[in-house]
């Protein structure tokens, strides 16, 4: 009998061990693309050549209406990586680190690190110069080398850089405040000077001669190193941010006759001046006029270069996905790709971002998770970038921290047509006035509010059912008065009242 009892004991021990053991952790590959508007094949672009992202979309879910919380780099990325909106993070510009106001906040990668993941960031994840060491298991990596590829451009820029350093007696940006414990920059100065070349360039160089190609090469090495441990790898790409520089072969993918100027190169009718910009970011480049509209040829050059830059980044995404497959990691890795905000390519007579318009606040979001029930689906639900933090927690079976201001969109991977949020919210400051913008199923409603009275000094209303490009501001028309009142109440009620009717139950850790 003794051997039988021993065998039963071993069997029971094995069963209990099985109950108490953790399921294997899913990895996360997060791909962040700077200034990427939904100019991708999987979003219906008839021109863009993006086969790798389109393949990822076939394996996951394309969120057709995903919105950032502020259409500029640092506020948007901070909001996404903290799962909190700009009025909570207090980050509205490019010079301040979020830990100045939220020193103890736990970021998305930091949360994964605290739950046993190796977390690593490559290139632009947080805004440049404002990285967060608490987020990573190993120091953040930045690609070496210049952003242009032609020798004559680089020589001219080096000379100008040296002259300006002598003139201003130091670097363009200075650290104004550091964390007293860690020495991490909390506040940096605005740039005292900028060295900028042409707005675009097509050097005849290999992918890895430019920073984004170097980032991919580094990411492939990191994936090989991490293949046997749970990881959260964040890979940031600089393009299609200005200047639009990509290897020449990506320009060659597009024929000039394919390219078109936007159909609405004019401000919306009755738009308040607060809603518009002079797109100073673009005007700082050598070949761009300081005032007035762009010449048609210049505009087409920029559109061509933007498409080429998008295709260059798509090729890098393809290299990452191929390496996941080669290493046998694809079936245990969640891939999430996002652009930090949209980008005007002449719509409304505007370029760059820095607005509350649809073109600036809407950006791509593609999520592919192992075992999702509806791969290849396109989801029309209104989703926000603050939703990414709780979504990845739920998909990886981690607890969702308190204080997040988004909703997990994991249920939409299985049921893309289910009822969801009634609105998505964005904002943008103009001096002392804050523009609060809300996208509903049919409308975009924006109030530009005075900070003292909190009353609107200007209002915008666009009806995308009758005006799909948002070319007419209806807010001041008598027939829209009642609707403006209703949408104003909804905007004031805020994101808390716009959540899905059946809130997602937070995920819990696997039983041990």
Residue among 186, 235, 307 at smallest CA distance from 33: 235
CA distance 192 to 168: 8
> Choosing from 73, 379, 393, 396, which is the catalytic residue?
73
Residues listed for the chain: 512
For residue 94, give every residue at least 6 positions away whose Cβ sits within 8 Å of its Cβ, in sequence order, or none: 72, 73, 74, 127, 130
CA distance 226 to 293: 49
Q: State the Cα angle at 276 between 274 and 277, rounded to 5°.
A: 110
127 catalytic per annotation: yes
- Cα atoms found within 13 Å of the Cα of residue 451, Cβ hemisphere only: 7
> Choosing from 97, 111, 118, 127, which is the catalytic residue?
127
Residue among 109, 30, 124, 119 at smallest CA distance from 73: 124
- Sign of torsion over alpha carbons 117, 120, 121, 122: negative
348 catalytic per annotation: no
DSSP code per residue over 216-257 = HHHHHHHHHHHTTS-EEEEEEE-TTSSSEE--HHHHTTS-GG
Name the DSSP class of 477.
S
Q: Is the peptide bond before 243 cis (omega within 30 degrees of 0)?
A: yes
CA distance 47 to 50: 9
CA dihedral 214, 345, 434, 102 (to 10 degrees): -10
Give me the residue label for tokens 């506040």: 187
**343 to each of 158, 326, 358, how far by Cα in Å?**
29, 34, 10
The catalytic residues are 73, 127
């Amino acid at each position: 009998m003794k051997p039988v009892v021993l065998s039963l004991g071993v069997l029971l021990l094995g069963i209990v061990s099985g109950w108490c053991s953790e399921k294997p952790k899913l990895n996360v590959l997060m791909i962040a693309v700077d200034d990427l508007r939904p100019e991708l094949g999987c979003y219906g672009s008839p021109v863009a050549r993006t086969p790798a992202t389109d393949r990822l979309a076939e394996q996951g879910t394309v969120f057709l209406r995903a919105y950032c919380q502020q259409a500029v780099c640092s506020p948007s990325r901070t909001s996404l990586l903290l799962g909190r909106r700009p009025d909570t993070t207090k980050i509205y510009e490019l010079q301040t680190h979020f830990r100045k106001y939220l020193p103890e906040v736990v970021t998305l990668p930091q949360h994964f690190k605290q739950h046993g993941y190796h977390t690593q960031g490559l290139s632009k994840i947080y805004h440049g110069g404002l990285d967060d060491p608490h987020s990573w298991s190993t120091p953040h990596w930045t690609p070496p080398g210049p952003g242009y590829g032609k020798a004559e451009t680089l020589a001219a820029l080096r000379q100008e850089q040296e002259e300006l350093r002598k003139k201003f007696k130091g670097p363009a940006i200075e650290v104004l405040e550091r964390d007293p414990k860690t020495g991490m920059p909390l506040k940096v100065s605005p740039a005292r000077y900028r060295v900028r070349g042409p707005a675009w360039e097509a050097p005849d160089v290999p992918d890895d001669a430019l920073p984004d190609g170097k980032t991919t090469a580094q990411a492939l090495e990191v994936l090989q190193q991490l293949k046997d441990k749970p990881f959260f790898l964040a890979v940031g790409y600089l393009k299609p941010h200005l200047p639009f520089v990509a290897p020449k072969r990506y320009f060659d993918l597009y024929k000039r006759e394919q390219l078109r100027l936007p159909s609405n190169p004019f401000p919306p009718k009755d738009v308040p001046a607060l809603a518009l910009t002079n797109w100073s970011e673009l005007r700082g480049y050598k070949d761009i006029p300081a005032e007035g509209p762009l010449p048609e040829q210049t505009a087409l050059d920029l559109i061509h270069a933007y498409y080429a830059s998008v295709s260059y980044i798509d090729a890098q995404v393809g290299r990452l996905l191929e390496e996941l497959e080669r290493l046998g990691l694809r079936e245990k890795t969640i891939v999430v790709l996002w652009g930090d905000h949209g980008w005007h390519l002449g719509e409304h007579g505007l370029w760059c971002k820095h607005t509350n318009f649809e073109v600036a606040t809407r950006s791509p979001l593609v999520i592919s998770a192992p075992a999702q029930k509806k791969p290849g689906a396109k989801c029309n639900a209104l989703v926000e970038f603050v939703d990414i933090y709780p979504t990845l927690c739920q998909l990886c079976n981690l607890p969702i921290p308190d204080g997040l201001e988004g909703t997990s969109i994991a249920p939409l991977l299985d049921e893309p047509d289910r009822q969801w949020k009634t609105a998505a919210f964005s904002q943008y400051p103009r001096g002392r006035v804050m523009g609060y913008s809300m996208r509903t199923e049919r409308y975009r409603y924006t109030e530009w509010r005075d900070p003292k009275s909190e009353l609107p000094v200007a209002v915008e209303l666009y009806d995308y059912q009758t005006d799909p490009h948002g070319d007419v501001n209806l807010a001041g028309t008598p027939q829209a008065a009642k609707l403006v009142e209703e949408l104003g109440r909804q905007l004031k009620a805020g994101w808390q009242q716009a959540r899905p009717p059946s809130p997602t139950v937070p995920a819990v850790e696997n039983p041990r």
